[in-house]
Amino acid sequence: MTTTAERPAHDTARPRPRPAAAGDGTAEEQAGEAVMGLDMVLVDAARGPLRRMVPPVRTLAALGTSLARHPDAVGGRLKELAEDVGRIAVGRSDIAPSPKDRRFADPAWSGNPLLKRTMQAHIAAARAAVGLVDDADLDWQDDERIRFALTNLVDALAPSNVPFLNPLALKAVIDTGGRNAVSGLRRLVSDVLSPPRVPSMVEPDAFTVGEDLAVTPGAVVLRTDVFELIQYRPTTETVRSVPLVVVPPTINKFYITDLAPGRSIVEHYVAAGQQVFMISWRNPDERHADWGLDTYGQAVLDAMEAAERITGSERVALQGFCSGGIITAMVLAHLAGTGGLGQVAAASFAVTVLDWARAGTVSALMDREAVQEATEKSRKKGYLDGAMLAEVFAWLRPNDLVWNYWVNNYLQGKPPAAFDILFWNADTTRMTAGLHRDFIEVAIGNSLTEPGGATMLGTPVDLSAVDVDAYVTAGIADHICPWQACYRTTRMLGGDTRFVLSTNGHIASLVNPPGNPKSTFHVAPETPEDPEKWLASAHKEKGSWWPDFMEWLGERAGEEVPAPQTLGSAELPVLGDAPGTYVFDK
């Protein structure tokens, strides 16, 4: 899931978008500030994302009842809309889209009188609709449900999505003699007939794994039913003695950490003299339905043991990404509870939420029946389909990930641009029914916030007992794992923690290579309880957080030793070249 927006994601305890004023950001932006947590994503992926588009009857009734009690407010909104429409009709309106709204960037939207009026009318109507929801003053649950539905409705009805109104589509007709319509229809039919049923964000042959992506040299040194372990070949004469074991997300394939050269996290780590071992999860099917958190936790322990045996180190460092970070945290608590935490030199959590109290809209947008329905569907099938996850992720940011490609692919008849992150995002994996159930149960119960609220391999999880130093990163515009929720990890762990707030959203905050002049990150000397106090005291650093993490880890990863000349060991010989075989499972 990617975004280039710089608008901070809000702590979602009670988001209250104000009515948009002309020129200060579109009503769509104001309506779409709610954050959709990983828990909601997992439930929606089983039930179908379009279920969320229509609010429950009781919510619509609550909206109608509330507005009926405020006739003056309704009348005021309608009067304001009528006045806006009047000014638009005579060409005297100053309503304008946000400068960041790419849908209306073409000069025709401001230069052509008909298109300008259509755009202004859409913004005015959307602003009035948001204002009515504000005036209704609904309770938290109903408010979130209405806003979510409103966001998607407003986005769908934008005039930029209409073929005979979008200037890019009209120009394409002239430039291609109408061939764009034929090409666009062909693409539309292809996308509708195969999941995920959203516009393709990248061509299926845009990249080749092992040739364009996931090309950092290394070898598979361990293969189990659950994962392959990749050891990367050092490129420096000396390396740090303590290896880093990376635990990638269980939702997609591991190579988000190893994209194109120059944009690869692993490549950067290796070049900095860090020994790196990568878990590559198997793409499970119905045979693996019972694999749950314990299965994946044991896999992390197996990977740690293999890294120690190969390097001769008695300790390892761990880095978990997103859902991989949840597993990592629970494994650390297991080690703390069994006296084995001494084998961990340091830990890192990237875009990982461990406290779901205000991490998304699950408490507002679903009930216990929805959760039970979701887990039952995956139980019957044996897994959660990765294509459904991809569809859910797309509808979380419809302007960026649905309607943008609707215009490009269907109205203009153009192929989508080749982008490595979106190729990775489309290379979906399944999630076992057991893991799907366990993740939802942990999130719904917010179990990791209470000692003993969850278990890992039979050990009660108490994150406060995890007293190793930790490095926690988040993205300021992350709509899956909001940065404030990621920040609360610093208060849950028992050791010293460094919190780093990166630019961009969920994945773009991770794939943030040095050399990007727009990249920055925030750091602060202390981690107070309130994330906003942390932000007020933080200072901005130019560049990527990757070198900062390597410097931090270098202080905890042991002395420098000669780099190994071969990979694997006598006990764990090389089984094949990276990126291994599991990454190709469909």
CATH of the domain at 497: 3.40.50.1820
Per-residue pLDDT at 365 exceeds 70: no
Q: Over the stretch 400-437, which tens digit does the pLDDT of each residue have?
A: 889 999 999 999 999 999 999 999 988 989 999 999 99
Q: Of 119, 142, 161, which residue constitutes the final position of a domain? A: 161
The region of weakest confidence among 17-21, 57-61, 303-307 is 17-21
Predicted confidence at residue 149, as pLDDT, reads 84
More confidently predicted of 436 and 363: 436
Residue-averaged pLDDT of the chain: 88
- Here the tokens at position 196 are 């995920």
Gap between the Cα atoms of 375 and 47, Å rounded: 9
* Same domain, yes or no: 528 and 379: yes
Counting the structural domains of the chain, the total is 2
Question: What DSSP string runs through 531-565?
Answer: HHHHHHH-EEEES-HHHHHHHHHHTTS--EEEPPS
- The verdict on 475 and 577 lying in the same domain is yes
With 90 as the cut, is the pLDDT of residue 498 above it? yes
CB 480 within 8 A of CB 36: yes
**Mean pLDDT, range 270-287, rounded to an integer:** 97
Q: Select from 512, 513, 519, 515 the least CA-distant residue to 541.
A: 519
Q: Residue 287: what pLDDT?
A: 96
Q: What is the mean pLDDT of residues 158-175?
A: 96
156 and 224 together in one domain: no
> Average pLDDT of 517-521?
88
Question: Tell me, what DSSP letter sits at residue 402?
Answer: I
Q: Give the pLDDT mean for 364-391.
A: 76
What confidence category does residue 360 fall into, taking pLDDT thresholds of 50, 70 and 90? very low
342 inside domain? yes
Residue 364 is predicted with a pLDDT of 44
Alpha-helical segments (H) within 33-89: 38-47, 57-68, 71-89
Segment 14-37, tens digit of pLDDT: 333 333 333 333 322 332 333 445
Greater model confidence, 134 or 41 = 134
Q: Which of the residues 322, 394, 402, 443 is marked catalytic?
A: 322
pLDDT at 40: 62
Cβ atoms within 10 Å of 458's Cβ, excluding its own = 9
**What average pLDDT does range 374-385 have in this prediction?**
85
- H/E element holding 221? strand 218-223
Mean pLDDT for the stretch of residues 80-95 = 95
My answer on whether 347 and 493 are in the same domain is yes
Q: Write the pLDDT tens digit of every residue in 309-325.
A: 999 999 999 999 999 99
Helix 433-444 / helix 368-381 crossing angle, nearest 10 deg: 160
Active site residue 322: yes
Q: What is the pLDDT of residue 100?
A: 86
Question: Are 149 and 232 part of one and the same domain?
Answer: no
Lookup: tokens for 305: 């043991």
Residue 77 pLDDT greater than 60, yes or no: yes
Q: Which domain holds residue 330?
A: 218-383+418-581
Q: What's the pLDDT at 18? A: 30
Residue predicted with more confidence, 390 or 453: 453
pLDDT reported for residue 443: 83
In a domain, 186, yes or no: no
526 in a domain, yes or no? yes
In a domain, 406, yes or no: no
State whether residue 374 is helix, strand or coil. Answer: helix
Using the CB atoms, write b or e for 96-110: b if 16+ within 10 Å. Answer: bbbeebebbebebbe
- The answer to whether the beta carbons of residues 546 and 509 sit under 8 Å apart is no
Residues 271 and 157 in one domain: no
pLDDT at position 392: 75
**Residue 346 and residue 255 in one domain:** yes
pLDDT band at 362 (very low <50, low <70, confident <90, very high): very low
What pLDDT band is residue 368 in, cutting at 50, 70 and 90?
low
* Cα–Cα distance, 298 to 133 (Å, whole number): 48
